A = this chain, B = another copy of it.
Amino acid sequence: MERKVAIFRKEHFNAAHRLYVPGWTDEQNLEQFGKCSNPHYHGHNYELIVKVTGTPDPKTGYVINLSVLSSLIRAQVLDRFDHKNLNLDTKEFASLNPTAENIVLVIYDILRAQLDPSLDLSVRLYETDRNFVEYPA
């Protein structure tokens, strides 16, 4: 029987960021991004939920070993973004506005490149417990 099961792993990281469009005036940025455009940055405790879908191995009963998945997230995502200033300290957001939408797309692409193609991937990112995003939708 080939039944696909989703397995989820939750991790978190803390980072600073600032939202703004370089070509815009301060007034335009303030109007669009409000307090999030503060030039000296603010920050979040980002919660990340990685969903991997596949067929459990008939012998082990695992879709993927969660300690393997957790290590992959740590090496590829947390070590890159945790306790960083996303605008200043990361090449991914050097010229890309670090909105939650853009962060979740970047994390998806990083993890997608590392996972076996037989596994489906989805990523959810909480910027706060009231604001969060998911890709694919």
Q: Which residues of A contact B (CB under 8 A)?
A: 3-12, 14-17, 19, 21, 32-36, 38, 40-45, 53, 56, 59-63, 65-67, 82-85, 88-89, 96-102, 104-105, 120, 128-137
Q: Which residue of B lies closest to A120 (CB)?
A: B137
Establish whether residues B128 and A53, one from each chain, have CB atoms under 8 Å apart when the complex forms: no
Establish whether residues A130 and B6, one from each chain, have CB atoms under 8 Å apart when the complex forms: no
Q: Which residue of B lies closest to A82 (CB)?
A: B35
What is the total number of copies of this protein in its complex? Answer: 6
A128 and B46 alpha carbons, distance in the complex (Å): 10
Residues of B with C-beta under 8 A to A67: 34
Residues of B with C-beta under 8 A to A129: 10, 45
Residues of B with C-beta under 8 A to A84: 38, 40, 42
